[in-house]
Structure 1
Amino acid sequence: MSKQNIFLIMLLFSIVMGCKKEANHVVESTSNKKGLKSKKVVYQVFTRLFGNTNTTNKPWGTIEENGVGKFNDFTDKALHEIKDLGVTHIWYTGVPHHGVITDYTKYGISNDDPDVVKGRAGSPYAVKDYYNVNPDLAENPEHRLREFKALIKRSHNAGLKVIIDIVPNHVARNYQSLTNPKGVENFGATDDKTVVYHVNNNFYYNTNKAFKVPKWEHGYSPLGDETHPLEDGEFDEVPAKWTGNGSRLSQPQMNDWYETVKINYGVSPEGRKDFDTLPKGFENKDYKKHFKFWQDKTVPNSWTKFKDIALYWIDMGVDGFRYDMAEMVPVEFWSFMNSAIKMKNSNAFLLAEVYNPALYRDYIHIGKMDYLYDKVQLYDTIKSVMQGKGKTDHIPQILDDLKDIEHQMLHFLENHDEQRIASPGFAGSAKKGKPAMVVSATISTSPTMIYFGQEVGEDGSEDAGFGKPSRTSIFDYIGVPAHQRWMNNKQFDGGQLTDEEKALRDFYKRLLNFTINSSALAGKYQDIHLYNRKYTDGYNDKVLSFVRWSDDEQLIIVSNFDSEKSYEFELKIPEDIIKKWRLNETNYKVEDQLYNQFSTHLIIKDDHASINIKLKAMESFILKIQ
Structure 2
Amino acid sequence: MNKTIVLACFLAVTMIYSCKKKGKESHPEVKVVFKKKQVVYQVFTRLFGNTNNNNKPWGTIEENGVGKFNDFTNTALKEIKDLGVTHIWYTGVPHHDVITDYTEYGISNDDPDVVKGRAGSPYAVKDYYNVNPDLAENPANRLEEFKALIERSHKAGLKVIIDIVPNHVARNYQGLTNPDGVNDFGANDDKSVAYRVDNNFYYNPAESFKVPVFERDYKPLGGDNHPLSDRQFDENPAKWTGNGSRLSQPNFHDWYETVKVNYGISPDGKKDFDELPEGYENEGFRKHFEFWQDKTVPNSWDKFKDIALYWLDMGVDGFRFDMAEMVPVEFWSYMNSSIKTKNSDAFLLAEVYNPSLYRDYIKKGKMDYLYDKVELYDTIKHVMQGHGKTDNIPPIQEGLKDIEHHMLHFLENHDEQRIASPEFAGSPDKGKPAMVVSATISTSPTMIYFAQEVGEDGSENAGFGKPSRTSIFDYIGVPTLQKWVNDKQFDGGKSTEEEKALRDFYKRLLNFTINSSALASNYEDIHLYNRNNTEGYNDKVLSFVRWSTDEKLIIISNFDDTNTYNFNLEIPENVIKKWQMEDGNFNTNDELYNQYSSSLNIEDSKGIINMEIKPLESFILKIK
Structure 2 length-normalised TM = 0.95
Task: Name the amino acid aligned to 2:278.
Answer: K
Divergent runs of 4+, >3 A: 27-37
Note the C-alpha offset of 1:143.
0.2
- The Cα of 1:180 is off from its aligned counterpart by 0.4
30-39 vs 460-469, which moves further: 30-39
Structure 2 distance, partners of 1:403, 1:222, is 47
In the alignment, what sits opposite 2:561? 563
Distance 1:158 1:30, change over 3 A: farther
SS in 2 for 1:223: helix
1:334 aligns with 2:303: no
Counterpart among 231, 235, 246 of residue 233 in structure 2: 235
The equivalent of 1:22 in structure 2 is: none
Q: 1:317 — aligned with what?
A: 315
Distance of 2:131 and 2:465 partners within structure 1: 22
Residues 82/30 of structure 1: CA separation in 2 closer, same or farther (3 Å cut): farther
Please report how far the alpha carbon of residue 29 of structure 1 lies from its aligned counterpart in structure 2 after TM superposition.
6.6
Q: Which residue of 1 aligns with 2:434?
A: 436
Match of 2:454, as an amino acid? V
Q: Could you tell me which of 139, 157, 160 is aligned with 1:159?
A: 157
Counterpart among 55, 58, 70 of residue 57 in structure 1: 55
Which runs of structure 2 are paired with 1:389-428 in the superposition (5 Å)?
A: 389-428=387-426
Deviation at 1:456, TM superposition (A): 0.1
Question: Is 1:44–1:93's contact at 8 Å kept on the other side of the alignment?
Answer: yes
| Number of the residue aligned with 1:477 | 475
The DSSP-based 3-state class of the residue aligned with 1:163 is strand
Contact 1:29/1:524, CA 8 A, preserved across alignment: no
Q: Match for residue 128 of structure 1?
A: 126
Unpaired segments of 5 or more residues in structure 1? 1-26
What is the CA–CA distance in structure 2 between the aligned matches of 1:606 and 1:189, rounded to whole Å?
Answer: 74
Match of residue 177 from structure 2:
179
CA distance in 2: counterparts of 1:158 and 1:193, whole angstroms: 48
Tell me: higher relative CO, structure 1 or 2? Use CA pairs within 8 A at least 6 residues apart: 1
Distance 1:336 1:105, change over 3 A: same
- Aligned residue runs from structure 1 range 369-388, under 5 A: 369-388=367-386
Q: Is the 8 A contact 2:33 2:521 kept in 1?
A: no
Query: Who is 1:12 aligned against?
Result: none
| Matching residue of 1:276 | 274
**Residue in structure 2 matching 1:188, options 181, 186, 189:** 186
Structure-2 separation of matches of 1:459 and 1:368: 36
User: 2:531 is matched with which residue?
Assistant: 533
Note the C-alpha offset of 1:228. 1.6
Match of residue 367 from structure 1: 365
Question: How far off its partner does 1:223 sit?
Answer: 1.6
Q: Could you tell me whether the CA contact under 8 Å between 1:529 and 1:546 is conserved in 2? A: yes
Counterparts of 1:490 and 1:372, CA distance in 2:
34
Counterpart of 1:586?
584
Q: Distance in 2 between matches of 1:81 and 1:513?
A: 12
Match of 1:99 in 2: 97
Matched to 1:540, the amino acid is: N
Alignment-derived partner of residue 293 in structure 2: 295
- Alignment match, 1:511: 509
- 1:33 Cα offset (Å): 4.7
C-alpha distance in 1, partners of 2:32/2:129?
A: 35
Deviation string 1:170-221 (CA, Å, 9 cap, x unpaired) is: 0000000111000000000000000000000000000000000011121112
Shift of 1:262: 0.1
The amino acid that maps onto 2:260 is: K
Q: Which amino acid aligns with 2:266?
A: S
Q: 1:191-270 maps to which residues of 2 (within 5 A)?
A: 191-270=189-268
SS for the counterpart of 2:470 is: coil
| SS of aligned partner of 2:221 | coil
User: Per-residue CA shift, 1:80-112, capped at 9, x if unaligned?
Assistant: 000000000000000000000000000111111
Q: Is the 8 A contact 1:244 1:263 kept in 2?
A: yes
Deviations 1:352-397 (A, max 9, x none): 0000000000000000000000000000000000000100000000
Q: Displacement of 1:227 after TM fit?
A: 2.5
Q: Secondary structure at the match of 1:190?
A: coil
Q: Which amino acid aligns with 2:432?
A: K
- In structure 2, how many angstroms separate the alpha carbons of the residues matched to 1:154 and 1:568? 49
CA contact (8 A) 1:81 1:492 kept: yes
Measure, in 2, the Cα distance between the counterparts of 1:169 and 1:358. Answer: 20
- On the 8 A contact 1:29/1:445 being kept in 2, the answer is no
Please list, as runs of the form range in 1=range in 2, the aligned pairs for 1:427-466 lying within 5 A after superposition.
427-466=425-464
Partner amino acid, structure 1, of 2:403: I
> Quick check: 31-40 or 343-352, which moved more?
31-40
Q: Distance in 1 between matches of 2:473 and 2:604?
A: 62
Give the conservation status (yes or no) of the 8 Å contact 2:582–2:605.
Answer: no
Cα RMSD after superposing both structures:
1.1
Name the SS for the 2:266 alignment partner: coil
In the alignment, what sits opposite 2:143? 145
Using the alignment, how far apart are the partners of 1:34 and 1:506 within structure 2?
34
Asked if 2 retains the 8 angstrom alpha-carbon contact of 1:29 and 1:407, the reply is no
The C-alpha deviation readout for 1:114-160, integer Å capped at 9, x for no partner, is 11111000000000000000000000000000000000000000000
| Structure 1 residue 222, shift from structure 2 partner | 2.5
Superposed displacement of residue 607, structure 1? 2.6
TM-score normalised over the length of structure 1: 0.95
**Structure-2 separation of matches of 1:33 and 1:186:** 46
The aligned runs of 1:4-23 (5 Å cut-off) are: none
SS of residue matched to 1:229: coil
Structure 2: distance between partners of 1:534 and 1:251? 58
Distance between the aligned counterparts of 1:443 and 1:428, measured in 2? 24
Question: Is 2:598–2:610's contact at 8 Å kept on the other side of the alignment?
Answer: yes
> How far did 1:583 drift?
1.1
**Aligned residues: percent identity?**
77
Tell me the distance in 1 between the aligned counterparts of 2:35 and 2:167: 35
Matched residues in 2 for 1:508 and 1:100: separation? Answer: 34
Equivalent positions of 1:492-511 (< 5 A) are 492-511=490-509
C-alpha distance in 1, partners of 2:460/2:152? Answer: 31
- 1:320 and 1:551 map into 2 onto residues whose CA distance is 31
Secondary structure of the structure 1 residue equivalent to 2:586: strand
Specify the code of the residue in structure 2 equivalent to 1:401. G
Letter in 1 for 2:269: G
| Higher mean C-alpha displacement, 602-611 vs 328-337 | 602-611
Structure 1 residue 341 displacement after superposition: 0.3
Which amino acid is 1:592 matched to? D
User: Do the aligned partners of residues 475 and 390 (structure 1) sit closer, same or farther apart at CA in structure 2, a change above 3 Å counting?
Assistant: same
1:17-71 CA distances to partner (integer Å, 9 max, x unpaired)? Answer: xxxxxxxxxx957899543331000000000000000000000000000000000
Q: Which residue of 2 aligns with 1:308?
A: 306
User: Aligned match of 2:621 in 602, 620, 623?
Assistant: 623
Alpha-carbon distance between aligned partners in 1 of 2:545 and 2:33, rounded to the nearest angstrom: 20
Whole-Å separation in 1 of the counterparts to 2:152 and 2:166: 28
CA distance in 1, matches of 2:310, 2:503: 36
Please tell me whether the aligned partners of residues 30 and 407 of structure 1 are also in contact (alpha carbons under 8 angstroms): no
State the secondary structure of the residue aligned to 2:119: coil
Counterpart contact for 1:29–1:523, Cα < 8 Å: no
